[in-house]
A and B are shown apart, each in its own frame.
Chain A
Amino acid sequence: MSETATPAASLPDDPGTLIDPDGDRPAARSGRSRSLLRFIVKKLLTTIGLLFGVTVLTFLLVQAVPGDPSTTNLTEAAQQDPEIVAAYKAKWGLDKPLPVQYLTYLNNLLHGDLGTSQSTGNSILSDLAKYVPATIELAIPAMVLSLLISIGLGMWAAVRKDRAADHTIRAGALIGLSTPSFWLAIVALYIFFYVLGIAPNGGRLSTKFRPPQDITGMYTVDALLTGRPLVFWDALWHLALPVLVLTSLTVSILIRFVRSAMLEVLDQDYVKAAYAKGLPRFTVLRRHVLRAGLVQVVTVGGLAFASLLSGTVLIEQIYSWPGIGQYAYLAALNLDLPAIMGVGLFVALVYILVNLLIDVLYGIIDPRIRVS
């Protein structure tokens, strides 16, 4: 409220403005950016804490395992030789007391060094750089397809509530939800590769092709970037089956959320109001219902995406897909501590980033939570 010099004269004309009309917007904007900054800083602090927690948790977990990496990484004969075992432990720092091992790890971590995998012999970072793009290449198409299908079918089911279409879609989703993923993957491989012969038998690329030059690490993208159409199609062909299996599982999860979210929205007054305005049904569904329903789908979708990105151990295993899930599986079996820690950190990071993405999407979709 601006103070006026001659209140007696100005008061009767005061239109009752409570906030200075011209001063308002810039103030609001700077306030918004300030609170956004605060939000991001807070998120970053949480992130660091969480990553720290992940390292502690992994470290303790792996220490709880009886036996040490030397038993899986040396032949039985070599293990009998104390000299060799000592040399191995010295090489990997396993001869030092636990807290020292942990502090060494943390110190290296702060310098951007995630350590060296005991089972692949590579630095964890370069391992991740190799395995993560493969998983991303699976996760993104699976997620996009899942969203498209589940939003489409979920909305259809909601609009046709309690009719045949609704029942069919729900039953399909329920069956999908009840199917063991690894079983579905095996059956799909059997049918599409073994019986029908229309799908490849796993892997990322036919052996006849050289993998494309490593730019993004995703074969399809790299093949396009380097102008190798045949490689692109081949990589795409290899993607098809795992992506479809992942999609069918994710769709089953998402569709129920989409349906109930849309049902809730369809029940809202503003949907009635939109019809009352004379808007055609399609416009109402697309513009009013979809948008509001998406808010609730974003969280579930985000978490589904996070879990796709953190690697689906079983699917990658069955389709010989060298992704982060396979890497994690091998690391866990070999008790490869640095690798498990690396995967843990990566997954935590994905989780945090996806949560951040969810927050940002919320802000974009719903103006009410843009500031807070």
Chain B
Amino acid sequence: MNELASQRPTKPVAGEVILPARRWFGIRPGRPRPERPARPPARALTAVAIVILVGWLIVAIAAPLIAPYDPLAQSGPYYSAPSAAHWFGTDQLGRDILSRIVYGSRLSLPLAVAIVALALAIGGTLGLLAGYIGRWVDESLMRLTDLVFAFPPIILAMVVSAAFGPSARNAVLALVLVSWPTYARVVRSAVLSIRGSDFLHASRLLGVGPWQALRRDVLPNSVGPSVVLASLELGNAVLMLASLSFLGLGPRPPAPEWGAMIAAGATDLSKWWVSIIPGIAILTAVLAFNLLGDAVRDWLDPRSRRRG
């Protein structure tokens, strides 16, 4: 009855085709608008962030080439001040601080990424299901996140680390444990807003199954906010990891973790280089992550894009 195919020739002949719409009311066929570039988000700062991060990335990858000494070896006297031989001085075991900072980037940066990625994966999945399925699944997940929120993160991480012993893996697990609820909530609220959206309704009315709709309509639209959050959280992950390490609950010695390096010098600030320099390393890395997070937010956040 309303078989479209029977009404139009299957292959319109070029030149004589009059599009139906044009025939009806004389309009030209609609074409997509030329793509407008997204508003360039504070380019200069983003450039700074990228330069710093790429710098750290190079340092991490080329650590053996850059580091003048073995980061674990006693290459000088204990606590020697910055000198030509040791640009950043040596630590309590006479290890070269520059080398340790260089190798430390191989630890802090990937671990921060791991923390964020795991938390995003776990929190995101749970939030997605909670928001989409709703009802008791949602209710119980929200109570669980409340529970984690109601616990001071550093204490929770400390108990976990204390329970399973200090190690990089346990520190990551502890920090994932305290940070997944944020992602769950963000994804959930994004899913909730999509659950009421017309395009999801339209999909379902077309006969798209619920799980297919979850994959095609809900998932791609709800990752945005969590990606923004994740990029903003990267810096925070570096800081949290350093805090745990500072308390002796991070990667095991003699690993050159930046937070642990600060702790080593914290007892005696007259040897300022031992803790001040790793602190600056953390600061630059976190600053770059934060700047990048801001840039990602400006780029992905629908609100700022709509303005652009």
Contact = CB atoms under 8 A, between A and B. Distances in A.
Contacts of B156: 61
A179 B266 CA distance: 16
A61 B163 CA distance: 8
Interface string B128-144: 00000000000000010
B275 A50 contact: no
Given A50-B143, A183-B279, A183-B282, A174 B266 contact: no
A181 B243 contact: yes
Nearest to B156: A61
A305 interface: no
B78 interface: no
A325 B243 CA distance: 14
B222 interface: no
Most buried by A among B159, B276, B287: B159
B235 A340 contact: no
Interface string A163-194: 00000000000110111111100110110001
Nearest to B236: A177
Contacts, number: 125
B152 A311 contact: yes
The secondary-structure label for the interface of chain B is helix
B78 to A, nearest CB: 20
A348 B247 contact: no
A284 interface: no
B155 A180 contact: no
B249 to A, nearest CB: 9
B286 interface: yes
Interface residues of B, number: 40
Given A175-B287, A314-B246, A332-B159, A180 B239 contact: yes
- Label chain A's interface by main secondary structure: helix
Contacts of A179: 279, 283, 286
Contacts of B291: 174
A352 interface: yes
Contact of B147 (A50, A66, A187, A328): A50
Contact of A177 (B152, B163, B290): B290
B272 interface: yes
B276 A53 contact: no
B269 A190 contact: yes
A250 to B, nearest CB: 14
B158 A332 contact: yes
B147 A54 contact: yes
A57 B147 contact: yes
A180 B150 contact: no
A101 interface: no
B243 A180 contact: yes
A310 interface: yes
B124 interface: no
B199 interface: no
Contact of A178 (B146, B149, B246, B290): B290
B287 A180 contact: no
Interface string B270-306: 1010011001001110110111001000000000000
A338 to B, nearest CB: 14
B30 to A, nearest CB: 32
Interface in B221-262: 235, 239, 242-243, 246-247, 259, 262
A64 B156 CA distance: 13
Q: How large is the interface on A (under 10, 10 to 19, 20 to 34, 35 or more residues)?
A: 35 or more
A335 interface: yes
B279 A348 contact: no
A57 B151 contact: yes
Nearest to A307: B152
A50 B150 contact: yes
A329 B154 CA distance: 9
Contacts of A106: none
A54 B290 CA distance: 32
Interface string B164-198: 10000000000000000000000000000000000
Nearest to A309: B152
Interface in A59-83: 61-62, 64-66
A351 interface: yes
A347 interface: yes
Contacts of B290: 174, 177-178
A352 B150 contact: yes
A32 B160 CA distance: 45
A49 interface: yes
A344 interface: yes
Nearest to A186: B266
B162 interface: yes
Contacts of A194: 269-270
Given A307-B152, A333-B162, A175 B279 contact: no
Contacts of B163: 61-62, 64-66
Contacts of A61: 156, 159-160, 163
Nearest to A328: B155
A190 B159 CA distance: 30
A54 B148 CA distance: 8
A61 B157 CA distance: 11
Contacts of B275: 183, 186
A340 B155 CA distance: 9
A236 interface: no
Given A178-B287, A332-B159, 18 more contacts: A50-B143, A54-B150, A65-B159, A65-B163, A174-B291, A174-B294, A175-B287, A178-B235, A180-B279, A180-B282, A181-B243, A186-B269, A187-B279, A190-B269, A314-B246, A328-B152, A343-B155, A348-B150
14 contacts: A53-B146, A54-B150, A177-B290, A178-B235, A178-B289, A180-B262, A183-B262, A313-B155, A328-B152, A329-B247, A332-B155, A343-B155, A347-B155, A348-B150
Interface of B: 143, 146-147, 149-152, 154-156, 158-160, 162-164, 235, 239, 242-243, 246-247, 259, 262, 266, 269-270, 272, 275-276, 279, 282-284, 286-287, 289-291, 294
Q: Which 8 A-B pairs have the closest CB atoms?
A: A178-B286, A183-B279, A178-B287, A348-B150, A65-B163, A190-B269, A351-B150, A310-B152
